[in-house]
């Protein structure tokens, strides 16, 4: 398994691998948002054209695209329908999939490429990067030229930090199984009659059977890869998850129960006291355990009520972590060298440089219980993957050589020293050379009592709902 840090890295490899597909090969993809005109490289094809090219070359192309909420709510219903239509026009098949709980989404983001005559080249890309605007950024974090709407603090071309992984070997077949289970779900793609009629008229309600999966690809390394998923408790139930699935949550509970030295976390949201609890218990249990957290400086939703609603969970979560770990917990956000905040969309956790998770799930109740999610946890014999991933991310955020940061204590201090120097430079009016590093100490969010009372219902019902079956809600277990 290989990490692909940044959307530009992922898109460039995806473009190259899509161009190699030919007759009887297989392309399967699932997406939360897809913009058909998003370019995969500066001078390369748009997403829709790259997928169409594969279909026209004889590959079987199938897509599961979340139907999405309305564009006026900063979602992507129109774009997702356009992408599905373009795939269909090229000879592929795409399903606009709302087989979720009301108010939920299919948040999985993955692409599977299987080769009829060369199974050793099979690959699955899994992570947090959608095939859409704003994702094609690189290590300089100057933003994607094709930007999606974001709050004004991120500027007209929002810098974006994200990660995907490339999986080879037998685990590719497991990702394919995830796609097949969703594709063959007998529930109607939408419960709304008008949408169903529109799909039928545009021939987007066709769900032809998939070919029988081929044997798993041959072994391709020493990594043990485990797929982690979330599916909500839904009626009618998912045939493959009758009470939903919460293996993302259970994996975190298991690994955090063994954490000893360092938890490194990058997350878009970091909400929910229920979800934060296993992190807090680990900090209380182990006096030598440290935790480094990287989050966005500003939420992705603004407005007088949406902004506070999105912050309530973080206020509670950070308070619980600080109470549990005190000075052993450090929370940072990112900016580029021009001082523009970087939106952290990555979903990465590294524990003790032994276990690493990369995927679509955020640390909140929605991702652990309500939306569909797909992540992969990696455990390898020598522990290199987890450690090298953490050090690679640290090297970018700190702007320094990190060969000496194998030791968790040194790593924790290096982050603190780098952030302190950059904060002091800003406090001094940005005079003199820019110090190394891109991390700032993240301010603890605060909400007034009045705004909290207004925003709590929206937070509980819409922003971070609970998708567990009733008996797990009552016991507060996963």
Phi, psi (deg, nearest 5) at residue 471: -70, -30
Instruction: Give yes or no for residue 196 having a pLDDT over 60.
Output: no
Contact call for residues 80 and 189 (beta carbons, < 8 A): no
Taking each continuous run of H as one helix and of E as one strand, the counts in the chain are: 13, 18
- What whole-number distance in Å separates Cα of residue 376 and Cα of residue 438? 27
**pLDDT computed for residue 247 by the predictor:** 98
**pLDDT computed for residue 74 by the predictor:** 46
The greatest distance separating any two alpha carbons of the chain, rounded to the nearest whole angstrom, comes to 64
Query: How much is the pTM?
Result: 0.93
Tokens of 179: 């796609």
Contact call for residues 256 and 280 (beta carbons, < 8 A): no
Contact call for residues 154 and 340 (beta carbons, < 8 A): yes
Rg of the Cα trace of the chain? 22
pLDDT band at 69, cuts 50/70/90? very low
* Complete DSSP assignment for 326-388: GGGEEEEEEE-TTSPEEEE---EEEETTTEEEEES--SSHIIIIISBEEEEEEEETT-HHHHH
Q: How far apart are the first and last CA of the chain?
A: 28
Phi, psi (deg, nearest 5) at residue 192: -95, 120
* Complete DSSP assignment for 279-313: HHHHHHH-TT-EEEEE--SS-S--STTHHHHHHHH
CA distances from 108 to 97, 124, 179 (A): 12, 13, 10
Query: Where are any strands of DSSP class E within 98-251?
Result: 110-114, 123-127, 160-161, 163-167, 223-231, 245-246
Give the tens place of pLDDT for each residue, 262-281. Answer: 999 999 998 888 899 999 99
Give the tens place of pLDDT for each residue, 177-190. Answer: 999 999 999 998 66
- What whole-number distance in Å separates Cα of residue 126 and Cα of residue 227? 10
Residues of the chain with pLDDT > 90, as a percent, come to 75
Give the tens place of pLDDT for each residue, 215-251. Answer: 999 999 889 999 999 999 999 999 999 999 999 999 9
Other CB atoms within 10 A of residue 363 CB? 25
**pLDDT computed for residue 70 by the predictor:** 47
**For residues 196 and 393, which has the higher predicted lDDT (pLDDT)?**
393
For residue 351, the number of C-alpha atoms closer than 13 Å in the C-beta half-sphere is 20
- What whole-number distance in Å separates Cα of residue 53 and Cα of residue 40? 13
**pLDDT computed for residue 89 by the predictor:** 85
**pLDDT computed for residue 445 by the predictor:** 75
Give the tens place of pLDDT for each residue, 72-127. Answer: 444 455 666 678 788 888 888 988 888 999 989 999 999 999 999 999 999 999 99
The predicted model gives 11-37 an average pLDDT of: 96
**pLDDT computed for residue 336 by the predictor:** 97
CA distances from 221 to 67, 332, 379, 409 (A): 37, 34, 12, 30
**pLDDT computed for residue 71 by the predictor:** 43
**pLDDT computed for residue 323 by the predictor:** 95
The predicted model gives 368-388 an average pLDDT of: 91
Average pLDDT of the chain to the nearest whole number: 91
Give the tens place of pLDDT for each residue, 303-347. Answer: 555 567 777 878 888 999 999 999 999 999 999 999 999 999 999
- What whole-number distance in Å separates Cα of residue 263 and Cα of residue 278? 12
**pLDDT computed for residue 73 by the predictor:** 42
Query: Where are any strands of DSSP class E within 128-277?
Result: 160-161, 163-167, 223-231, 245-246, 262-266
Structural domains of the chain sorted by starting position, each given as residue range(s) with its CATH number in brackets? 2-221 (3.30.870.10), 224-475 (3.30.870.10)
Q: Crossing angle for the helix pair 306-325 and 449-458, nearest 10 degrees?
A: 100
If 0-12 CB within 10 Å is exposed, 13-18 middle and 19+ buried, where does residue 66 land? buried
**pLDDT computed for residue 457 by the predictor:** 81
**For residues 75 and 66, which has the higher predicted lDDT (pLDDT)?**
66
* Complete DSSP assignment for 63-104: EEEE--S-GGGT--HHHHHHHHHHHHHTT-EEEEE--S-TT-
The predicted model gives 161-190 an average pLDDT of: 94
Tokens of 341: 């905040």
Tokens of 286: 């182990």
Give the tens place of pLDDT for each residue, 420-476. Answer: 999 999 999 999 999 999 999 999 877 777 777 777 888 888 888 999 999 999 999
3-state SS class at 192: coil
Tokens of 309: 């609603």
| The dihedral formed by the CA atoms of 458, 374, 235 and 211, expressed in degrees to the nearest 10 | 150
Contact call for residues 330 and 292 (beta carbons, < 8 A): yes
If 0-12 CB within 10 Å is exposed, 13-18 middle and 19+ buried, where does residue 272 land? buried
Contacts of 258 (CB under 8 A, 6+ apart): 351, 352
Instruction: Give yes or no for residue 290 having a pLDDT over 60.
Output: yes
- What whole-number distance in Å separates Cα of residue 111 and Cα of residue 1? 14
- What whole-number distance in Å separates Cα of residue 25 and Cα of residue 82? 24
Contact call for residues 423 and 330 (beta carbons, < 8 A): no
- What whole-number distance in Å separates Cα of residue 119 and Cα of residue 123? 9
Instruction: Tell me the residue length of the chain.
Output: 478
Tokens of 388: 């090298």
pLDDT band at 374, cuts 50/70/90? very high
């Amino acid at each position: 398994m290989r990490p692909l840090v940044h959307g530009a890295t992922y898109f460039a490899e995806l473009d190259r691998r899509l161009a190699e597909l030919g007759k009887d090969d297989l392309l399967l993809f699932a997406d939360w948002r897809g913009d058909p005109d998003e370019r995969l490289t500066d001078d390369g094809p748009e997403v829709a054209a790259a997928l169409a090219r594969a279909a026209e070359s004889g590959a079987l192309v199938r897509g599961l695209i979340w139907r999405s909420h309305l564009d006026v709510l900063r979602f992507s219903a129109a774009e997702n329908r356009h992408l599905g239509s373009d795939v269909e026009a090229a000879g592929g098949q795409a399903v606009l999939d709302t087989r979720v709980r009301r108010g939920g989404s299919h948040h999985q983001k993955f692409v599977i490429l299987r080769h009829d005559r060369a199974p050793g080249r099979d690959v699955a890309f899994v992570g947090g990067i959608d095939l859409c605007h704003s994702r094609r950024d690189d290590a300089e974090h100057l933003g994607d030229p094709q930007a999606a709407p974001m709050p004004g603090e991120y500027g007209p071309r929002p810098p974006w930090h994200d990660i995907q992984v490339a999986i080879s070997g037998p685990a590719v077949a497991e990702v394919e199984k995830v796609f097949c289970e969703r594709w063959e779900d007998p529930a109607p793609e939408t419960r709304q009659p008008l949408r169903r009629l529109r799909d039928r008229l545009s021939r987007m309600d066709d769900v032809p059977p998939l070919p029988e999966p081929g044997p798993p690809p041959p072994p391709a390394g020493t990594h043990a890869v485990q797929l982690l998923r979330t599916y909500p408790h839904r009626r009618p139930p998912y045939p493959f998850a009758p009470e939903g699935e919460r293996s993302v949550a259970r994996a975190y509970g298991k690994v955090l129960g063994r954490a000893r030295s360092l938890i490194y976390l990058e997350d878009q949201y970091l909400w929910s006291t229920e979800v934060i609890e296993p992190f807090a218990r680990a900090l209380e249990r182990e006096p030598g355990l440290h935790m480094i957290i990287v989050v966005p400086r500003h939420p992705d939703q603004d407005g007088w009520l949406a902004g506070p609603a999105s912050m309530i969970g973080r206020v509670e979560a950070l308070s619980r972590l600080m109470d549990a770990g005190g000075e052993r917990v450090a929370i940072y956000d990112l900016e580029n060298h021009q001082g523009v905040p970087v939106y952290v969309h990555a979903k990465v956790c590294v524990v003790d440089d032994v276990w690493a998770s990369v995927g679509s799930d955020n640390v909140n109740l929605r991702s652990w219980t309500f939306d569909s999610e797909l992540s992969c946890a990696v455990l390898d014999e020598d522990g290199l993957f987890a450690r090298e991933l953490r050090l690679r991310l640290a090297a970018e955020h700190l702007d320094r050589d990190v060969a000496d940061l194998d030791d968790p204590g040194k790593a924790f201090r290096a982050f603190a020293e780098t952030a302190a120097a950059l904060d002091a430079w800003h406090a001094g009016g940005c005079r003199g050379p820019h110090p190394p590093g891109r991390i700032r100490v993240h301010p603890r969010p605060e909400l007034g009592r009045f705004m909290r009372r207004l925003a709590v219902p929206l937070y509980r019902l819409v922003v971070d709902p609970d998708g567990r079956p009733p008996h797990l809600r009552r016991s507060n277990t996963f």
